[in-house]
A and B are shown apart, each in its own frame.
Chain A
Amino acid sequence: MDNYLTLLSFGDQGWGDEIAWGVLITVSLALATLPVGLFIGFMIAVAKQSEEWTLRTAADIYTTIFRGLPELLTLFLVYFGLQIGIQQLLKAVGLGGAIEINTFFAGVIALALVFSSYASEVFLSAFRAIPKGQYEGGYALGLRRGRVMRSIIVPQLIRIALPGLGNLWMILIKDTALVSAIGLTDILRQTGVAARVTKEAFLFFGLAFLLYLVLALISSIGLNRLEAYGKRGEQVR
Chain B
Amino acid sequence: MSVADTLIKAQPAPPDRAKRWTTARISGTILVMFWVAAAIGLVLYLYSAWDIAKIERYGPKFLSGLWTTLSLVGVSIAIGAVISLPVALGRVSKNPVISRIAFAYVYVFRGTPLIAQLFLIYYGLGSFRPQLEAVGLWLFFRDAWNCALFAFSLNTSAYQAEILRGAIDSVPRGQWEGAAALGLNRLQAFWKVILPQALIVALRPYGNEIILMIKGSAIVALVTVFDLMGETRRAFSRTYDFQAYIWAAVFYFCIVEALRNVWNLLEARLTRHLKR
Across the interface, do A80 and B245 meet the contact criterion of CB distance under 8 Å? yes
Across the interface, do B28 and A205 meet the contact criterion of CB distance under 8 Å? no
Across the interface, do A68 and B252 meet the contact criterion of CB distance under 8 Å? yes
Is residue A201 contacting chain B, with contact meaning CB distance below 8 A? Answer: yes
Is residue A24 contacting chain B, with contact meaning CB distance below 8 A? Answer: no
Known: A58-B32, A205-B119. A73 touches B245 (CB 8 A): yes
Across the interface, do B249 and A174 meet the contact criterion of CB distance under 8 Å? no
Across the interface, do A69 and B253 meet the contact criterion of CB distance under 8 Å? yes
Is residue B124 contacting chain A, with contact meaning CB distance below 8 A? Answer: yes
Across the interface, do B111 and A170 meet the contact criterion of CB distance under 8 Å? yes
| Residues of A with C-beta under 8 A to B117 | 209
Q: With the chains together, A176 CA to B113 CA distance in Å?
A: 9
Across the interface, do B28 and A188 meet the contact criterion of CB distance under 8 Å? no
Q: Which of B58-66, B167-175, B215-223 is near enough to bind chain A?
A: B215-223
| Residues of A with C-beta under 8 A to B219 | 72, 178, 181
Q: Which secondary structure characterizes the binding site on chain A? A: helix
Across the interface, do A54 and B218 meet the contact criterion of CB distance under 8 Å? no
Is residue A20 contacting chain B, with contact meaning CB distance below 8 A? Answer: no
Across the interface, do B120 and A205 meet the contact criterion of CB distance under 8 Å? yes
Across the interface, do A178 and B115 meet the contact criterion of CB distance under 8 Å? yes
Across the interface, do A201 and B28 meet the contact criterion of CB distance under 8 Å? no
Across the interface, do B115 and A54 meet the contact criterion of CB distance under 8 Å? no
Across the interface, do B28 and A174 meet the contact criterion of CB distance under 8 Å? no
Closest residue of A by beta carbon distance from B246: A77
Across the interface, do B245 and A54 meet the contact criterion of CB distance under 8 Å? no
Q: Which of A101-109, A132-140, A211-219, A222-230 is near enough to bind chain B?
A: A211-219
Across the interface, do A77 and B221 meet the contact criterion of CB distance under 8 Å? no
Across the interface, do A68 and B116 meet the contact criterion of CB distance under 8 Å? no
Q: Which of B184-225 contact A (CB under 8 A)?
A: 214-219, 221-222
Q: With the chains together, A51 CA to B107 CA distance in Å?
A: 42
Across the interface, do B256 and A68 meet the contact criterion of CB distance under 8 Å? yes
Q: With the chains together, A209 CA to B252 CA distance in Å?
A: 28
Q: Which of B87-95, B125-133, B263-271 is near enough to bind chain A?
A: B125-133
Across the interface, do A58 and B116 meet the contact criterion of CB distance under 8 Å? no
Taking residues whose C-beta sits less than 8 angstroms from the other chain, chain A's interface range is 35 or more
Render A180-196 as a binary contact track against B, CB cut-off 8 A, 1 for contact: 11000000100010010
Across the interface, do A201 and B124 meet the contact criterion of CB distance under 8 Å? yes
Across the interface, do A177 and B252 meet the contact criterion of CB distance under 8 Å? no
Choice from B22, B215, B242, B257 contacting A71 with Cβ under 8 Å: B215
Q: Which of A43-61 contact B (CB under 8 A)?
A: 47, 50-59, 61
Render B18-32 as a binary contact track against A, CB cut-off 8 A, 1 for contact: 000010110111011
Known: A50-B24, A170-B111, A178-B115. A209 touches B245 (CB 8 A): no
Q: With the chains together, A101 CA to B217 CA distance in Å?
A: 26
Q: With the chains together, A188 CA to B117 CA distance in Å?
A: 11
Least Cβ distance of A129 to chain B in Å? 19
| Residues of B with C-beta under 8 A to A176 | 113
Known: A54-B32, A205-B124, A209-B117. A64 touches B249 (CB 8 A): no
Choice from B28, B221, B248 contacting A52 with Cβ under 8 Å: B28
Across the interface, do B24 and A51 meet the contact criterion of CB distance under 8 Å? yes
Across the interface, do B218 and A174 meet the contact criterion of CB distance under 8 Å? no
Choice from B35, B115, B123, B127 contacting A58 with Cβ under 8 Å: B35
Across the interface, do B113 and A174 meet the contact criterion of CB distance under 8 Å? yes
Across the interface, do A55 and B28 meet the contact criterion of CB distance under 8 Å? yes
Q: Which of B1-35 contact A (CB under 8 A)?
A: 22, 24-25, 27-29, 31-32, 34-35
Least Cβ distance of A17 to chain B in Å? 20
Q: With the chains together, A180 CA to B216 CA distance in Å?
A: 15
Known: A77-B249, A81-B242, A209-B116. A50 touches B28 (CB 8 A): yes
Is residue A203 contacting chain B, with contact meaning CB distance below 8 A? Answer: yes
The 22 sampled A-B contact pairs (Cβ below 8 Å) are A54-B25, A54-B31, A55-B25, A57-B32, A58-B35, A59-B31, A68-B252, A68-B257, A69-B253, A70-B229, A72-B221, A76-B233, A77-B246, A176-B113, A188-B116, A188-B119, A201-B124, A201-B126, A202-B123, A202-B124, A203-B127, A213-B108
Please list the 6 inter-chain residue pairs (A to B) with the smallest Cβ-Cβ separation, ordered nearest first: A54-B28, A55-B28, A216-B111, A58-B31, A177-B113, A70-B218
